[in-house]
Structure 1
Amino acid sequence: MTRTAVLRGIGAMVPPRAVDNDELSALLDTSDEWIRTRTGIRRRHWADPGMATSDLAMVAGERALKSAGGGPVGMVILATSTPNQPMPATAPQVAAGLGLGTVPAYDVTAACAGFVYGLSVAAGAIAARLADRVLVIGADLWSTRLNPDDRATAVIFGDGAGAAVLEAGRESDPGALLGFDLGSDGLHRELARVPGGGSLQLADPDTPFQQSDHYLTMRGKEIFTHAVGRMSESSGRLLKQVGWEARDVDWFAGHQANARILHAVADALDVDRSRVLIHLDRVGNTSAASIPLALTDAAVQGSLRPGQNVLMTAFGGGLSWGSAALNWPDVDVL
């Protein structure tokens, strides 16, 4: 029997500090209206000083494990572009903090597409019998990587984490991940990046952080065009792969970067806008955490119900993108 990854639990976490558009408008040349009309974002959550990506990931992971009814986990995959440090990976620290012992644990870096990439890796590990249950976490803490004077990024990103527990099952099981479509284009890697801190451009201890290249830079208009095109194409291929028509999609769970992007992709797929999950208005762009945060919120609100077909798609720096499809299971969301 072919083993299929099945969703058994989900959890999420955002820091308590909420930062609304008016607060940022007092610091930047912007306004609540400007931010809302261009992005759809009303507020975002930023971590307090001293809080790390691992802290967010552990809370989301713990909630997902409780949602799944507890039990052992054979692997931990953390999708993040803001690890606690360049080395070692943050996933082993998260696994240890959750009391999971010496299970395999590693980071996946695919920017905002990281959670979909993580799901695909987990599904492969389950199919290959490397693990019976896998904890996949998407977590990013971008507030410490944003130039406070850069309106293009400072108003967009928030901090958060979302997690899912996948378990070996059958394709006919509720919650089965039915297919994936992934892609990348490194020729456009400079459209969204953090230039400094890697082997190409090492950190300079004599350069103040405020003047360094450790901030996120992004070319918004070009990113918008690529995001709409790549997510539309990827989603279209996946729909054909799993045998769904647009009318079969009950919920479109796209990466929560910009409401206009989500609506443009839905329009390209002929998916009604009323079936687009929108969570970014309350949390901003939470990068790898955005899809599980949106799914958790929809499940808590009762709009996402067992038996509904969910199409996920994401796009991020790299460039990287990916899509996944599943039939939503009956899960307890904490």
Structure 2
Amino acid sequence: MSTPTSHIRAVGTALPGAPIDNPALARRIGVSAEWIDRFIGTRTRHFAVDLETGEQTSTLADLAERAGEQAMHQAGITASEVDFVVLATATPDELMPATVNQAADRLGIDQVPTYQLQSGCAGAVQALDLGCLLLQRPEHETGLVIGGDVCAKHLRLDREFGSLPSTELVNYVLFGDGAGAVVLTRERPPAGMAIRTVLNQVTGRGQRPGQVIRWFGEADRERGGQAANEDYKAIEERVPTMAKEILWQLLDDAGWQAEDLAYLLPPQLSGRMTERIVSTLGLPGAKEVSCIADTGNTGNALPFLQLERLAGLLSPGERAVAVSVESSKWIKAGFAVEGV
């Protein structure tokens, strides 16, 4: 749980390349566009690889730099004013050096603490939580928190897609690439959001992972095996219930009632899943803030993409809750913000 003295002063985002619609993706992997729409519910997504050649066109550091630069520009701060940098990702560019340090270097940030958290969708919330905790140190007034993923680089485009199991094929239509960043401050900004509470709680004891992504090293590169595995049935079963638990935990921690909410930032696993979750949560008075249909599942970028949309809507005194579920080892995460 964070203190109410942490504020989001500005938000920046970055998406690679032009949007790829369902017909273009369907032609490339040999499925129907109607199936993608019916099963996933995503209209477009952005890939950091060329869809035809498989060549990588953007790195995570590229996207983190763009998002961080935009957030800093909107906040009106320079690199010398940043006291720490936190990056959350499940797909760093390399094992070493840490991508957070590559991004900090490009942004001109030096001689400050940096942290890189490796996690799925919940990592962005973990990064926010860590940023709020770091602001409690007297020497820290301003921090940069980044979340992003480049999932497409883990998906081979030279496959015989017709023979792939559904647990692997779904990854080609579910994910997109992107990054987002926020400038966190201890001081209340002229405009922005106050973070009232943050939830970060692993709940997967004794449970099989709902998602597994394997990183093959040089020694086992040729051994084969499935690089990405999605237990979509388990996700469909567990996520709506977890989302409801997260919502009520956040409301209880913030001391709010459900009717106090002006906006809801629901989990962005897929368009269809988000529709189910919003219906299950039953908050008719809260407007939904989603981006999944346009961006696909961008992992650790998602909460920041939602925050960017919320920033243009939230008025002083209005309240919003963001709910995030990570299915890899079942993490409940989220945060509550109030307009200032």
Q: Say yes or no: TM over 0.5.
A: yes
CA shift digits 1:209-264 (9 cap, x unpaired)? xx455x32111111222222222211211101112222211111123222333333
Find the partner of 1:275 among 282, 287, 299: 287
Partner of 2:222: 207
Among 253, 261, 285, the residue aligned to 1:249: 261
Q: Distance in 2 between matches of 1:235 and 1:41?
A: 24
For residue 312 of structure 1, the aligned residue among 310, 314, 322 is 322
Q: State the alpha-carbon separation in 1 of the partners of residues 250 and 221 from structure 2.
A: 49
1:294 to 302, 306, 309: 306
Unpaired runs of 5+ residues, structure 2, are 50-55, 162-167
The reply to whether residue 183 of structure 1 matches residue 192 of structure 2 is no
Amino acid at match of 1:240: D
1:83 to 83, 89, 92: 92
Asked if structure 1 preserves the Cα contact closer than 8 Å seen for 2:5 and 2:195, the reply is yes
Q: Which residue of 2 aligns with 1:194?
A: 213
Aligned counterpart, 2:68: 61
- How many pairs are equivalent? 319
CA drift at 1:110: 2.1
Partner of 1:151: 169
Looking at structure 2, the residues matched to 226 and 203 of structure 1 have their Cα atoms a distance apart, in angstroms, of 36
- Tell me by how many angstroms 1:270 deviates: 2.4
Q: AA paired with 1:167?
A: T
Determine helix, strand or coil for the equivalent of 2:268.
coil
Residues 7 and 164, structure 1, Cα contact 8 Å, conserved in 2: yes
The TM-score normalised by the length of structure 2 is: 0.86
Q: Deviations over 1:151-187 (max 9, x none)?
A: 311001000001101001369x962110122211254
- Unaligned segments of structure 1, at least 5 residues: 330-334
- 2:118 corresponds to: 109
What is the CA–CA distance in structure 1 between the aligned matches of 2:215 and 2:119, rounded to whole Å?
Answer: 17
In the TM superposition, what is the alpha-carbon distance from 1:137 to its structure 2 partner?
0.5
Q: Separation in 1 of the partners of 2:176 and 2:247?
A: 25
Instruction: Give 2:127's aligned amino acid.
Output: G
Q: Distance in 1 between matches of 2:44 and 2:235?
A: 22
Query: Which amino acid counterpart does residue 320 of structure 2 have in structure 1?
Result: V
Matched position secondary structure for 1:22:
helix
Q: Which residue, 181, 186, 193 being the options, matches 1:163? A: 181
Describe how 1:216-255 pairs up with structure 2 within 5 A: 216-255=228-267
2: CA distance, partners of 1:79 / 1:129: 24
Taking a change above 3 Å as real, the CA distance of residues 194 and 174 of structure 1, as seen in their structure-2 partners, is closer
> Which amino acid counterpart does residue 31 of structure 2 have in structure 1?
T
The Cα of 1:205 is off from its aligned counterpart by 5.8
Of stretches 41-50 and 142-151 in structure 1, the one that deviates more from structure 2 is 142-151
Q: Over the residues paired in the alignment, what is the CA RMSD in angstroms?
A: 2.4
Letter in 1 for 2:209: E
Aligned to 1:332: none
How far did residue 206 of structure 1 move?
5.4
Partner of 1:133: 142
Name the CA distance, whole Å, in 2 between partners of 1:10 and 1:206. 38
TM-score, normalising length: structure 1: 0.87
